[in-house]
Amino acid sequence: MINMTVKQNHERIVRLEDDVQEIQDRLTNLEMKHIDLMARLDVIVNGVKVIIAIVGASLGIDISIEGGMI
């Protein structure tokens, strides 16, 4: 590696740039999946809050939920 030619260095740089781009693409993909999963989790949590409020109301229980009553 010490006596690399300019061509060899250029090829190595191109490979490294390709690797960085691949990692960047994978990171972007993971970020999008994370956002999607967080949105789904938020929908589930809000649905559970609604179900708890409905069950509590049908039983005549005042259930306080963060952010007020649903």
DSSP 14-35: HHHHHHHHHHHHHHHHHHHHHH
54 or 15: which carries more pLDDT confidence?
A: 15
Measuring CA to CA, how many Å separate 1 from each of 8, 12, 18, 47, 58? Answer: 9, 11, 20, 60, 75
Whole-number pLDDT of residue 66: 56
Q: Global pTM?
A: 0.62
For residues 65 and 34, which has the higher predicted lDDT (pLDDT)? 34
- Asked if residues 63 and 53 have their Cβ atoms less than 8 Å apart, the reply is yes
* 63, 56 contact by CB (below 8 A): yes
How many alpha carbons lie under 13 Å from residue 37 in its C-beta half-sphere?
A: 6
Q: What does the pLDDT look like over 3-40, one tens digit per residue?
A: 889 999 999 999 999 999 999 999 999 999 999 999 99
